[in-house]
Structure formats: structure tokens, C-alpha cells
Structure 1
């Protein structure tokens, strides 16, 4: 079945095979959080142990888990983190500016850091505004388009919630525009913390609308 990125809580995972990297997406928890399991060779990495440790551990399976990366400090993105780390022994990484608010962190990352998964690496992109330490993770597919995991910083239809704080909104939109849209091509596929995926090309025409809208 072709990958669409459409998942529902309690429903089947969506699997995208990129050849040397496989992306498995599931929706978990009351807020329909997306969690992403990446596999390259014999190694696996989880992005956001959001909730429902049983579902996530079943997804991880006997292959084990090397690393969990938490995209930001909001609790709906790490409710299952402690249980997943305890069960797998995985390293737990988050940006240094959010780490103190996340219950289990064994290492911190900053802008430009590379996080290994098998023969590949994910580049850390710091996007300030939704939280001080929000990050996106970029996989440069050597045989195709870029794949970008944006947490709650970028969604189809706009940037993440900044709760009416004008300074945070401008910071987030500026970072998203400079570090994502100005740098990466339209074909770049992005995977948000909730809901459906999109591409930068699909969203690019609306950047000015988002800025005028102010949220």
C-alpha cells in the first residue's frame, strides 16, 4: 500500500520504505500524537515517545531501540518516554533548552548536531518559538528527497501554537522560514507531531498569509 501518512489512534501504522531507511508512523494518546520509528540496518530510533508505551514497545519489537529523540518539552510528546527507555535501555536525547522539563534525558543536542541511525544520521534544526528548545530532524535521503520531522513547529496550514505570544510567533515563523523553507526544496516531505504530513512546496505559497494572520 502506498504511503500517505494518514494514521488514526488505535489504527494500523503507516510504513514508508526508503530503501536504506524505513519510517513507521503511528498515532497514540488522547491528543493523537504522531510517533515515528526509523530503522536503518539493525538500528532503530524513535521520535517522540508520546504516549501508549505498549503500542510503541510492540512497534519496536525484538530489534531493540538505540535512541529516543524528543522534539520538545510539552508533556504530550514524552508521556511514554520513561517506560520506553527503561524497557529498551535506549539513549534519550532532547535539545539543551528543553531538557530540564523532560523526565528522562541522557544527552542533549544543539543546532547542527547529527544523530545516528544505522548508516545514516539526522540533522538537528533548532526552531525557537513553540518552546525554547523545539527541534526538527532532517534526513537527507541520498537517493531521493529530504524527510523532515518537525514536531509541533510546522504543520500543514501553519507553524505551531505560540499561545498568542507575538514575540514567540515571530521567532518561530522566522526560524521556520529561514532554516526550512529558504534552505530546502519544495519536494521535502515533512512529518509533524500531530495529523497528516505535507511538503514544503505545498505550504510555501502560504508563508505570507501565516505572517499576516499572526498565529
Structure 2
């Protein structure tokens, strides 16, 4: 399936091929969670972002990226159950390393019985194969919510690649149309919108691709004009 930024549960995998990386996206589970597989094209190392549900589908996704079923890391973007229902099963099969935001890691461990080997903090850097992923803390949806940022190299050749463009995997912290749910708490909402503004919109360009935890993708450019509107409405 050509990458469109949209997938359906039980539908085909959407695949984006860039110079260093292949990005695969599927929708799984009753809440239509988006799971992403990042594959290093040079070493075939792989990162799964959110083992959300349907372990069989996610393991098949891993094999799509690597016939040897190599999985180097699973990152759980936050502690909510719909983002880690398949984590224990995926880890049992692949024996992979698990990472999650430091503040959410104890809840993930308690819910899944899986050890979080790498508690993540804002500014951390993950290196998997030739892929470098920056950890961005986006507090508010949960205290330990994290996003991952991948930047394309300065010299690109793949069709559709853009030198230096950022790709951000935001979990439930940023969607088309607004930030994630903060339970009607004004302090949590302000904290999340402040983090999203300072740590994403103020740092990255309009061509930055945003891959959320549910639904269609977007870009920072598409959402930037609405930041003041979001702050005024309070959600």
C-alpha cells in the first residue's frame, strides 16, 4: 500500500521508503491504535512504536520489515492500556528491549509484567542500527508521555525524501486538530500544549510529518495556524 498516512484495522500495511529508513504503519485493536515499525535499511535493525494490540499482526509486521523477524526495541509512548496490550506477547516472542517514559514505566511494568529496560527522559537519544531517534517529553496526557523524532539526512535520493525533514511519532500527545486528552484539567492541558509548542512547533519546520497514536497523520504546517485556537478553547 502506498503511504497515505491513513490505514484501516485489518487493512494492508502503509509503507514509506526513505533513504535510511522504512516506516510501516498499521491499525490494530478495537480503538484503532496506530503502530509503527521503523526499519534501518542498512542494517535491518527495527523499532516498534507501541505494541498496542493484536500481537499476531504486529509480529507479522516485524517479519515484513525483516524476514529474520529482527526486533531491536519496542517503545511504549505512554502508560494507557490500549498502547501496550500486545507488549508482553511481542516481547515473549522476540526477546526485545523495552523502553518507555521514566514516569510511566512503573505503570507499564505493573500492567504488562514486562520489564522496561530503558526509562526515557526528554532529550535522550536512541540509536538502533544507523537510525538515531531523539526522545521528546510531552507531559500532560500522562506524566511520562514521550514522542520520538527521526530526521532525514542532509543528502537524500529516495523519491519523496526531503533533506533534514523531521518525522515525529507523537503517541496520544498530538493529533490532527489538537493535543491529546487531558481529562478536562486546565493545568494538564496547559502543560501539554506548552510542551507541544516549545518542543515541537518551535523547533521543527512546517514539513515535519506527525504520526499520531490513532487516525490519520498530519504535518506541523497543517496544525500550526490553529495553536491559538486550541489554547483559547482549552482542549
Query: 1: distance between equivalents of 2:219 and 2:17?
Result: 17
- For 2:88 and 2:3, the matched residues in 1 are separated by 30
Q: Partners in 2 of 1:52 and 1:159 — Cα distance?
A: 26
Alignment of 1:58-69 (within 5 A): 58-61=60-63, 62-69=68-75
The residue matched to 2:199 in structure 1 has which SS?
helix
Q: Structure 1: which 5+ residue stretches go unaligned?
A: none
* Cross-structure match for 2:130: 119
TM-score of the two chains, using structure 1 as the length reference: 0.98
Q: Match of 1:110?
A: 121
Alignment of 1:89-168 (within 5 A): 89-102=95-108, 103=112, 104=114, 105-142=116-153, 143=156, 144=162, 145-168=165-188
Q: Distance in 1 between matches of 2:47 and 2:128?
A: 6
Regions of 4+ moved over 4 Å: none
1:55 equivalent among 54, 57, 60 = 57
5+ unaligned residues in a row in structure 2: which ranges? Answer: 157-161
Partner SS state of residue 163, structure 1: coil
Question: Which secondary structure state, in structure 1, belongs to the residue aligned with residue 77 of structure 2?
Answer: coil
1:42 counterpart = 2:41: no
Alignment of structure 1 residues 78-89 onto 2, 5 Å: 78-89=84-95
Q: Distance in 1 between matches of 2:37 and 2:129?
A: 13
Contact 1:39 1:117 in 2 (8 A): no
1:63 is displaced (CA, Å) by 3.0
TM-score w.r.t. the length of structure 2 is 0.90
Distance in structure 2 (CA, Å) of the matches to 1:74 and 1:7? 21
Cα RMSD after superposing both structures: 0.9
